[in-house]
Amino acid sequence: MDRTTAARTVTDVLQPRNVLLAGMPGIGLAAAGNWSGIPWGLLGALCAGIIPAAYIEWERKRGTWGDRNIVDRTKRPPIFLVILASIGLGSIIMILGHAPTGILLAMLALWAMTVVLLAVNHVWKISVDSAVASAIPAMLAVVHSPWWLLAYGLTLAVCWSRVALTYHTVAQTAAGACVGATTAAAFLLA
């Protein structure tokens, strides 16, 4: 497998939708203290990852974007607004449904992370993929075990893939990963 194929595989497998789908149920599990938290985590993954990914795919089919990797930062604000609205709606559903506090805090941390990413995006292209790939393992480390920090090997792989595909610079992926880690820190302090 050549470098470009490997980078494409990493970036497709570890895209935000998939990272959120893998990680949020674990955060929900920890928040509830039992299996009843898993559906709340799946709702979080739906709102933070799957709905935004579906919107990107819809826009891609309409010809707005070439693929899910919106390389031109000036075309990214609509997806940030969809993410914010979707996470906001999911959070409201969680409040009304009396979801465990921990999963709601995770959603609010992801919402805050998206606000930061949107603000930075106005002046500089930051890596959303790296931010999500950093936030989820850090949050899992907070709620389950510090051993989850080993998953930062996957975060590094995401950063590498984004640079190898020339979607981002090293600085843009590092900044995204830092924003994701800061999200987890805010989650920890909440």
Q: Which residues contact 33 (CB under 8 A, 6 or more apart)?
A: 100
Report the candidate in 150, 155, 138, 154 with the shortest Cα–Cα distance to residue 189. 138
Q: Give the pair of three-digit tokens for residue 117.
A: 């990413």
* Residue 72: predicted pLDDT: 85
Q: Give the pair of three-digit tokens for residue 141.
A: 């480390």
Measured in residues, the chain has a length of: 190
Its pTM stands at 0.94
In the predicted model, is pLDDT for residue 45 greater than 90?
yes
pLDDT 10s digits, 55-67: 999 999 998 877 7
166: Cα separation from own chain's centroid: 20
CB atoms within 10 A of CB 109: 25
**pLDDT band of 119, cuts 50, 70, 90:** very high
Q: Quote the percentage of the chain above a pLDDT of 70.
A: 98
* Residue 144: predicted pLDDT: 87
- Three-state DSSP at 112 gives helix
In the predicted model, is pLDDT for residue 185 greater than 80?
no
**pLDDT band of 190, cuts 50, 70, 90:** low
Average pLDDT over residues 131-138: 96
Distance CA 76, CA 65 (A): 10
CB 48 within 8 A of CB 110: yes
Distance CA 98, CA 8 (A): 40
Q: Which is more confidently placed, 65 or 182?
A: 182
Q: Which residues contact 86 (CB under 8 A, 6 or more apart)?
A: 47, 48, 51, 52
Identity of the amino acid at 34: N
Average pLDDT over residues 89-96: 98
CB atoms within 10 A of CB 151: 19
Distance CA 178, CA 157 (A): 15
Q: Quote the percentage of the chain above a pLDDT of 90.
A: 84
**pLDDT band of 137, cuts 50, 70, 90:** very high
* Residue 169: predicted pLDDT: 97
CB atoms within 10 A of CB 84: 17
Distance CA 159, CA 157 (A): 5
